[in-house]
Structure 1
Amino acid sequence: YFRGDYNIFFDGSNKQLLAFDEIQTTFAKTDNLAIVIAPDSREVFTPEILKLIQNLTVDSWQVPYSSRVDSLANYQHTEAVEDDLLVEDLLYEEHELTPERIAKVKNIALTEPVLKNALISAKGDVTVVNITVQLPEVDKTAEVQEVMAHINQMLAQYQQNYPNVEFHKAGIIAMNYAFMTAAQEDSATLVPTMLLVILVFLTIMLRSFLSVVATLIVIIGSVIATMGLSGWAGMFLSTATVNVPTLVMTLAVADCVHVIATMRQSMQNGFSKAHSIERSISLNFMPILITSVTTAIGFLMMNMSDSPVLRDFGNLSALGVMIACFLSVTLLPALLTLLPVSVKQPASQSGTDFMDKLGDFVVLRRNVLLP
């Protein structure tokens, strides 16, 4: 399952989080969602926009788990009328929005310290409808999604009715939802894109469809094994760990390319496929193992982090690296043996000569290239 709320970034023993939880327990634990209203005219105090604020304030009470709505419309303004005190909504519905009434509302809103730079900008060009939400926290991720689904549907209707007004979402609820959606959208786009890029470049470099197929099987197997073990261990996906599949794919490709490239080079020199695979494994086993182990150790150092999700990211990455290493020296040779992989003898040495010259150029001018 996926979690995107800010609490996952802090350990249960974090002093700051414990102090924050104590404050919320002592007083009140609330989350908020602010709907920012920004008219294209840069003027909030018009009949159309003020009526919009009134309607949006009323509709915001229908948001799931909402316990309070604050806006210019329902701000309790107090004024003295002779010997009486009159307390009413700043945008009381029974008052017609005449120019005189709007001017009075504007004067009150821009001079009242409680409202200025809180519910209305100092220039009067942007205002806010703030919704206080009390989540049951049985399943906070699902509850946040429920709130945001209602908000998005409501604002879509308002955007259609008021095309000259921009609506923005802010607050803790919107931030948690943004974390979740950004990570999930990245996972849905980056992983397939990564596979496509790998497929294209492997095809160009290896020039063997079956070698590419073998590599993709190892890559996908490494990712599935890593994420499967994380789920079996009861770990949840977060904005950090959702990037693990992309990382594992990158490292798995590096391992596979070394094995396949050495095998193909040996086959081009006239050796049999079986001998070439055996020779490739014998030459690349220790380099792949050392690289994987040192990389895994580096990721395991993230266990020194105070953030649980960063520790999870380090552990899953280290696990994925070692799984990719294991599959590249076991599953990959077996696939290469079973698949009818063949190589063509190079027509000329021009490509090899170019790479040799490029290597010599880089070594001779290393001080210039790496100042």
Structure 2
Amino acid sequence: MNRVYLPTGTGGRWLWLLVISALILAFAYGGISRLKVNGDPRVFFDAKSQAYQQVQALEAEFTANNSIIFVFESNRGSVFRRQLLAPIHRLTQTLWSQPHVTRVESLTNFNRTRSLDDTLETRPLYEGGPISDPALAELERYSAGEPRLVGGLLGPDLDVTAVAATLDIERADREQVQTVMAWARELQQALNQNNAEFQVHLAGTVAYSHALTQATETEFREKLPWVLGLMLLVLLVIFRSGWLVAATFYLMLLTNLLTLGLAGWGQLPVTPITAFIPVSLIAIVLADAAHLLTAYRHQVNQGLTPRQAVRQSLADNFKPMTITTLTTVVGFLCLNVSQSPPYQQLGNLIAAGTVFAFVLTVFWLPGWMTLMPLRPLPPKPQQTLARHLLSYPRLSFTVVTVALVG
């Protein structure tokens, strides 16, 4: 790239930077405002898959398998003790009055049919109230031999049991999921408070969907700032210039905004898989920017003016940057062979982000570089030593050889 266009005049360069930044921000704002986090596990399956369509048909004809499950884990052996059956019975009764609940299944309301003389009697296993030790033992023997309980609501070792509530909600509806998780966690905390007999855990499809959503949001809210902070600290040590670090950070920001804006305009959901896109793009942008800015710093140290240094840096790095961009794009586009849509979206968006990073590095970053008040740095001690060693190659070789042999 022997000929590089750079706007003339400081005002023209600032205008160039501001116009590009404003266009990117406008595009990103419109797209990012449309982004939605989707924690539904069904997002991992292709809508055109025959198996997925069969599940959808079953759910449309009957009901979707949306549930919240309270898992009781006994701390003292069998769950067939008064200290567990009573709270299980109370929870079963309470769940019927919670929002969106259409059915409740538990050990205590499991129907048991017995023959009394010439009649059949069907009653719940435990209806609350006092229960004698012989009755508890008989209840345990019956439950251990009931195949509809063991492996379902009851663990094979009889130390774990579940209370399952079926829900009439859409897992993609974030407000409904949050409502369910709010009262579920409130009930869980009340059961676990000051209790040494058992522990209650939350499970079920709704809890799983909510966990995926929380993991995705945590990735953006907590981990991404740490990655950025560590990256900027390393860059400050390498470049020894706040302007160069600011340029790299802004380039990372613009690339991520463009990519996420594209995802929003394309109505692509944010999933635990696509949540890795910003971190991946940070590494890709850093690779492009580091090559160009390191060369720029070197040219300035050699005494070139900022404009001359930019031209020379682009001329030296344009070809390798182009090759690495193309190979990176092809590599991530290969994720389209996956049958899972989130992985396809991951590959396509990172490929697009890689192109954005390259274009911004070539066309936007040079304008910023020419505006940096960058001064030549004095050579480091190790650089001076290297220069002396290279001036006397034979002597250096002899000294190193003697040191290694001796």
Q: Do they fold alike, i.e. is TM over 0.5?
A: yes
Distance 2:327 2:127 in 1: 68
1:43 to 1:70, Cα distance in 2 relative to 1, 3 A: same
Which of 115, 118, 137 is the aligned partner of 1:103?
Answer: 137
1:266 to 1:114, Cα distance in 2 relative to 1, 3 A: same
Give the secondary-structure state (helix, strand or coil) at the position aligned to 2:67: strand
> Structure 1, unaligned stretches of length 5 or more?
358-371
Distance 1:202 1:314 in 2: 27
Deviates more, 1:256-265 or 1:40-49: 40-49
Which of 27, 42, 54 is the aligned partner of 2:77?
Answer: 42
Distance 1:51 1:99 in 2: 14
Which of 28, 33, 36 is the aligned partner of 2:68?
Answer: 33
Query: What is the number of equivalent residue pairs in this alignment?
Result: 354
Distance 2:234 2:135 in 1: 68
Distance 1:105 1:191 in 2: 53
The residue number in structure 2 matching 1:306 is 339
Q: Which protein shows a greater Rg? A: 2
The residue number in structure 1 matching 2:127 is 92
1:256 to 1:153, Cα distance in 2 relative to 1, 3 A: same
Looking at both structures, which has the greater relative contact order when contacts are Cα pairs under 8 Å and sequence separation is at least 6?
Answer: 2
1:13 to 1:108, Cα distance in 2 relative to 1, 3 A: same
The residue number in structure 2 matching 1:240 is 273
Distance 1:138 1:148 in 2: 12
Distance 2:111 2:165 in 1: 16
Conserved 8 A contact 1:259-1:284: yes
Conserved 8 A contact 2:171-2:206: no
The residue number in structure 2 matching 1:363 is none
Distance 2:371 2:184 in 1: 55
Identical-residue share of aligned pairs (%): 28
Give the secondary-structure state (helix, strand or coil) at the position aligned to 1:132: strand
Residue 130 in structure 1 maps to residue 152 in structure 2: no
1:265 maps to a residue whose letter is H
1:352 to partner: Cα distance: 7.3
TM-superposition CA deviations, 1:59-90 (whole Å, max 9, x none)? 22233321111111111111122333222111
Conserved 8 A contact 2:74-2:159: yes
Q: Normalised by the size of structure 1, how large is the TM-score? A: 0.89
Deviates more, 1:139-148 or 1:247-256: 139-148
> Structure 2, unaligned stretches of length 5 or more?
1-35, 391-406
Residue 194 in structure 1 maps to residue 227 in structure 2: yes
1:117 to partner: Cα distance: 2.2
1:109 maps to a residue whose letter is S
1:103 to 1:164, Cα distance in 2 relative to 1, 3 A: closer
The residue number in structure 2 matching 1:68 is 103
1:294 to partner: Cα distance: 2.0
Distance 1:343 1:39 in 2: 70
1:351 to partner: Cα distance: 7.9
Distance 1:310 1:348 in 2: 48
Give the secondary-structure state (helix, strand or coil) at the position aligned to 1:22: helix
Conserved 8 A contact 1:252-1:324: yes
Distance 1:142 1:71 in 2: 27
TM-superposition CA deviations, 1:238-266 (whole Å, max 9, x none)? 12211111111110011111111111112
Which of 225, 230, 237 is the aligned partner of 1:204?
Answer: 237
1:151 to partner: Cα distance: 0.9
Q: How does 1:1-371 map to 2 (within 5 A)?
A: 1-93=36-128, 95-135=129-169, 137=170, 139-350=172-383, 353=386
Give the secondary-structure state (helix, strand or coil) at the position aligned to 1:166: strand
1:138 to 1:46, Cα distance in 2 relative to 1, 3 A: closer
- Flag as ranges the 4+ runs of structure 1 deviating above 4 A: none
Distance 1:210 1:30 in 2: 55
